[in-house]
A = this chain, B = another copy of it.
Amino acid sequence: MIRAKVIGAGGYGGVGIVELLASHPEARIAALVDVTDVGAPLSNLYPHLTGFCDIKIVDPADPVAKQEVDVVFTATPDGVGMKLAQEVLSSGAKLIDYSGDFRFNTAQSYAEYASRIGRETQHAAPDLLPQAVYGLAELHRGDLDSRRKIVGNPGCFAVSCILGLSPAVKHGLVEPFSVICDCKTGVSGAGKKPSAGFHYPARYDHMNVYKLAGHQHVCEIERELSLQAGGEVRVTFTAQVVPVCRGIMSCLYGQLTKDIKAEEVIGLYKDFYKGSAFVRVFDRNATIGSMHVRGTNFCNLIVDVDARTRKLRVVSHIDNLMKGQAGSALQNMNLLFGLPETTGLMRAGMYP
């Protein structure tokens, strides 16, 4: 059994991986660590876990937190994982970090990211960066194996955009500076902490854009798409919140470099994802939306061409807390321990 420790267990990212680990056939939860609610069983914070995960949250200094494990999930904001990484690795465990700390594997690319989002540009563990891999299995499956020690779990918006555009940029279908990512997220993407903008009365019948000056996921989107394209890709990115709980729907646009029919593009997409169990490709007639991936690790793509304006249009749907966070984290764990990628993740969700 894979022994797992979750740091930041009390947040949505933490409880998400706990839910998945609790029913995973090859893993068990060894410790839940957080700096708030210390001493409380996780099921006190999340009563639905009563009888399923009554493990107590411990302080990072607690001996329970320091026991030997096989994998550590740092479900923590930027700046935490990088400080813990060396200790995790020294203990023999692997690290799967939710933040931007290990999404970039050179000190320089990290510094560019950090600078864009206004953080300290000096990484706390620059020597470890080359060991990290960007944890989007659909693109980096080959680098996610048992020799890998550190994974930078991708950002939720980034997952939706990268999966939605990679086949197109790889095949040179769109002008590299023409790409627009118009992205809507459900509110759970903002995490567990209450704030004015996510207070029910202020949110229930409301939609709005935010961070127009620049969103932290743009760097990784452009890096990954540029890698696929073999040349620089730049995106115009608009983050939006709408009153759903779970779900991201990204409308992705690019100026086509040539006349091509939707059917042909769909073929290229299906081919690109043929070994990827969690990506499904649909055409413009599909009546799907965010609810059809809720609670699952799937990414559903509608691939379309607007011939009148010569635009590629892709609509990408994920559950921001699953494929956009804990689901990808578990998928990465599976790969790092030589398990089938889908272990413990092949669930359809519930409807309605």
Chain B nearest CB, measured from A49 CB (Å): 5
Among A130-138, A149-157, A179-187, A331-339, the stretch that binds chain B is A179-187
B348 close to A48 (CB less than 8 A): yes
A289 neighbours in B (Cβ, 8 Å) = 206-209
A206 neighbours in B (Cβ, 8 Å) = 244, 247, 289-291
Among A77-85, A117-125, A280-288, the stretch that binds chain B is A280-288
**Is residue A350 within 8 Å, beta carbon to beta carbon, of the partner chain?**
yes
Q: How many residues of A contact B (CB 8 A)?
A: 86
B240 close to A251 (CB less than 8 A): yes
A238 close to B213 (CB less than 8 A): no
* CA distance in complex: A219, B177 (Å): 28
A238 close to B313 (CB less than 8 A): yes
B309 close to A201 (CB less than 8 A): no
Identify the closest chain B residue to A244 (Cβ): B205
* CA distance in complex: A337, B329 (Å): 38
Contact of A311 (CB < 8 Å), options: B197, B236, B293, B296: B236
A203 close to B202 (CB less than 8 A): no
**Is residue A178 within 8 Å, beta carbon to beta carbon, of the partner chain?**
yes
Contact of A194 (CB < 8 Å), options: B198, B246, B286, B292: B198
